[in-house]
Amino acid sequence: MDGLRFVAANEAPWDDLQAILTGAAKRCQCQRQRLGDHDWWHMPESERAAILRAETHCGDRRATETIGIVGYDGDEPVAWCAVDRRGVYGRLRGSPVPWQGRDEDPDDASVWAIACVVVRKGHRGQGLTYPLVAAATEYARDRGASAVEGYPMLTGGRKVIWDELSVGPVGPFLAAGFHEVTHPTTRRVVMRREF
Structure pTM? 0.94
Contacts of 48-56 with CB under 8 Å at 24 or more apart are 49/18, 52/17, 53/14, 56/9, 56/10, 56/12, 56/14, 56/17
Which bin fits 38, alpha (ψ -120 to 50), beta or left (φ > 0)?
Answer: alpha
Query: Average pLDDT of each block of 10 consecutive residues along the chain (195 residues)?
Result: 89 97 92 87 94 95 92 96 95 86 91 95 91 98 97 82 80 97 91 97
Query: Which residue ranges form the domains of the chain, and what is each CATH number?
Result: 4-194 (3.40.630.30)
Q: What is the pLDDT of residue 28?
A: 93
Q: Name which of 181, 51, 151, 141 is nearest 91 in CA terms.
A: 151
Q: What is the pLDDT of residue 122?
A: 87
| Pairwise CA distance, residues 68 & 140, whole Å | 9
